[in-house]
Chain A
């Protein structure tokens, strides 16, 4: 079999547009999912470090559930199963009336899945800080919530910038699973170009390079953030 290389296909319309639009959806899914993951994950991570037993248990149940069900299964559960087990009106809304149903399902699925990972990082970050700081924050009269907001979380986030970066890149890579429920993100578009043009090698090469480029950009950006937020005079907070 002779394969006819034709790189030009990548810059031919409509295929260039498909790649661009796929990339756009990938970014849109990843960023929205990350916002959910970050805030929900922070809240759950905090819950797991509080004195209140019920909150700790609830947090642990969340993390173990979402971390241990394969992401692909979760994607199908959200998309195919959830509308059927909800009350009829809610299920119908999900199936018929919700705008961009595939997109939002993918976002919620990836966001809640990644939140479990973020929660574990946040918990580890806060636990590294030690009880003394927590006591000091409470001793000046901060409420528990103020202590988290002004002391424990700002220090904790600094400790976990590197693992958070890899979790963000995880969302970005996992977003390709959204194609299984019909989101035309980068991988889906790439596959489609392959099917239309029989130039699958070229299109997948392009996709690979795009994924890599984004990964390297994000890593460089996060390293900047890490240096920018580093605490003067402190070699490594994590070692404290």
Chain B
């Protein structure tokens, strides 16, 4: 589904991504972790073309993200993305947030879009908040709306960039529960997170990044077992200790 081959990216002289190769098969959940600044966000932003790689290739469902003739808006519409800071559109209501892409991009009628939005809000437990504005919701609620907004586009895959790290601890689980549900329904997911509980529960593979490189790309069992690299070991002991 998502194929990343020898992807490299530079910010002027600084190499953010260094020859990254990995893949996410259909229905697979891949968790990406690694220290701050290691290039995790950059990598997943390259998957839907929000950032460009300068070398290598990334394809989604066989479509090359970097090719000049690729219809990027169309490609992006088919890949859901959830951000660390939610990024709901503050000037429109929850239901309008979920409708915007459906109407403008997929060409659904307002009624069709609203039906879908309300169904998704019900699924994430927020159907009573449909007419509120984002700033009137808690962080956990906003993030669940953001997930619903992405799902409304009927994506073939979902990208998550630290979806719980801006949340107060008591709200983390309500978001993780939604994500676990998605994973169990067979959604293809690429998730940057340090929530190892989530990884243990639903991940198929764990990718560990450091300084722009993918230093480990293993199955979950290998990662949490004994055959873990030194750097990953060090990192894991740090994040598991708190």
- A residues 207-240 touching B (CB-CB < 8 Å): 231-234, 237
Among A132, A146, A231, find the residue whose CB has the most chain B CB atoms closer than 10 A.
Answer: A231
Residue of B45, B77, B105, B133 near A231 (CB, 8 A) is B133
B105 x A234 contact (CB < 8 A): no
Residue of B74, B85, B89, B153 near A137 (CB, 8 A) is B89
- Whether B144 sits at the interface, judged by CB under 8 Å, is no
Cα A3 to Cα B94 with chains together (Å): 67
B90 x A234 contact (CB < 8 A): yes
B76 x A132 contact (CB < 8 A): no
Given known pairs A138-B50, A150-B104, A151-B89, the reply for A232 and B76 (CB within 8 Å) is no
Residue of B85, B100, B136 near A140 (CB, 8 A) is B100
- B residues 84-130 touching A (CB-CB < 8 Å): 85, 87-91, 100-101, 104-106
> CB-nearest residue of chain B relative to A133?
B87
What chain B residues lie within 8 Å of A154 (beta carbons)?
A: 91
Q: How large is the interface on B (under 10, 10 to 19, 20 to 34, 35 or more residues)?
A: 20 to 34
- Whether B135 sits at the interface, judged by CB under 8 Å, is yes
Number of A-B contacts defined by CB within 8 Å: 78
B135 x A233 contact (CB < 8 A): yes
A140 x B101 contact (CB < 8 A): yes
Given known pairs A138-B50, A231-B90, the reply for A132 and B83 (CB within 8 Å) is yes
- Whether A136 sits at the interface, judged by CB under 8 Å, is yes
Q: Interface size of A by Cβ–Cβ distance < 8 Å?
A: 22
> CB-nearest residue of chain B relative to A233?
B135
Q: Nearest Cβ in chain A — how far from B208, in angstroms? A: 25
> CB-nearest residue of chain B relative to A151?
B89
> CB-nearest residue of chain A relative to B159?
A139
Given known pairs A135-B50, A138-B73, A232-B136, the reply for A237 and B90 (CB within 8 Å) is yes
Among A139, A158, A231, find the residue whose CB has the most chain B CB atoms closer than 10 A.
Answer: A139
What chain A residues lie within 8 Å of B85 (beta carbons)?
A: 132
- A residues 125-157 touching B (CB-CB < 8 Å): 132-133, 135-143, 146, 150-151, 154-155
- Whether B149 sits at the interface, judged by CB under 8 Å, is yes
What chain B residues lie within 8 Å of A231 (beta carbons)?
A: 90-91, 133, 135
> CB-nearest residue of chain B relative to A143?
B73
- Whether B65 sits at the interface, judged by CB under 8 Å, is no
B135 x A234 contact (CB < 8 A): yes
Given known pairs A150-B100, A154-B91, A155-B90, the reply for A140 and B83 (CB within 8 Å) is no
B87 x A140 contact (CB < 8 A): no
Q: Nearest Cβ in chain A — how far from B190, in angstroms? A: 13
Q: Nearest Cβ in chain A — how far from B115, in angstroms? A: 18
Given known pairs A233-B134, A233-B135, the reply for A140 and B91 (CB within 8 Å) is no
- Whether B157 sits at the interface, judged by CB under 8 Å, is no
B135 x A136 contact (CB < 8 A): no
Residue of A132, A139, A142, A158 near B91 (CB, 8 A) is A158
Q: Which 3 A-B pairs have the closest CB atoms?
A: A141-B77, A233-B135, A140-B101
Q: Please, could you name 28 A-B residue pairs with CB atoms under 8 Å apart, sorted by A? A: A132-B85, A136-B87, A138-B50, A138-B73, A138-B76, A139-B81, A140-B101, A140-B105, A140-B149, A140-B150, A141-B74, A141-B76, A142-B100, A142-B104, A142-B105, A146-B105, A150-B100, A151-B89, A151-B100, A155-B89, A155-B90, A158-B91, A231-B90, A231-B133, A232-B135, A232-B136, A233-B134, A233-B135
Enumerate chain A interface residues (CB-CB to B < 8 A).
132-133, 135-143, 146, 150-151, 154-155, 158, 231-234, 237
